[in-house]
Amino acid sequence: MARRTKEEAQQTRQQLLDMALLQYSLHGINNVSLKTIAAEVGVTHGALYWHFKSRDDLILALCESLTLPFEHYYLEQLQAIDQNAVKALKAFLIEVTCRIATHEPAMQVYSLFYNRRKELPQQAALHECLADEWQVWTDYINRFLKQARKQKSISKKTKGQPIAEMLLCQVFGVLVVAEYMLEPVALRDLASTSISNAIRGLEAS
């Protein structure tokens, strides 16, 4: 039997990651076996173990290779921060929320690592990875808040990590509600109303 090339091995590894994300996000980590993931990809159980030592190793690899699209929309709004930081912050959070909710791979990442977080293995490296991502996202929000304070458009009391985390929680709260909505077309309105109301409470009188 011919040996697989490095490219073929990498392709198989990516297929296993994609299938694991799909299956775990749909059915939960505890309801999907590694054998099922391997079979869905069309490889042997042993082939999966060649790439990943265990289920925990597979989930950690998912966390390290996937993220939600905060950085893309943060970079999109960087120039707008200097003009109107509050308006840029609203646009940033609304666009991120809508992108996650309407982009299947992003919604799968959200479902696995945030909506199903209680199912994740108690693995220090995994939770450190998630904590690092959370910190990056709140740092983005804090950049908007800092500039908004300079522009005197929000209260000086908005200093600190809790405010950034509260706004980040607004994003995830909208995603939770969106899963139960019968009318997906109303998602942007829901995101806009929820996020705008949260930010309005920070604005200087």
Give the pLDDT confidence of 105-146 residue by residue, as tens digits.
999 999 999 988 889 999 999 999 999 999 999 999 999 999
| 127 assigned to some structural domain | yes
| Distance separating alpha carbons of residues 172 and 165, to the nearest angstrom | 11
Give the pLDDT confidence of 135-188 residue by residue, as tens digits.
999 999 999 999 999 999 998 877 778 899 999 999 999 998 877 765 655 788
pLDDT at 3: 56
| 1 assigned to some structural domain | no
Same domain, 86 and 180: yes
| 115 assigned to some structural domain | yes
- pTM reported for the whole predicted model: 0.88
Averaged pLDDT, 60-70:
95
- Round the average pLDDT of the chain to a whole number and report it: 90
Domain final residue, candidates 14, 48, 65: 65
Q: Could you tell me which residues are beta bridge partners of residue 27? A: none
| 52 assigned to some structural domain | yes
Same domain, 100 and 60: no
Averaged pLDDT, 3-9:
76
Residue type, 25: S
Q: CB burial class (10 A; 0-12, 13-18, 19+) of residue 87?
A: middle
> Does residue 89 register a pLDDT over 90?
yes
User: Which of the four pLDDT bands, split at 50, 70 and 90, describes residue 86?
Assistant: very high
| Distance separating alpha carbons of residues 54 and 190, to the nearest angstrom | 40
Number of domains observed in the structure of the chain: 2
> Does residue 64 register a pLDDT over 90?
yes
CATH number for the domain including 10? 1.10.10.60
pLDDT at 40: 93
User: Percentage of the chain with pLDDT > 90?
Assistant: 71
Q: Which domain holds residue 183?
A: 70-200
CATH number for the domain including 159? 1.10.357.10
Query: Which tokens sit at 124?
Result: 């220090």
| 205 assigned to some structural domain | no
Collapsing DSSP to helix, strand or coil, 203 comes out as strand
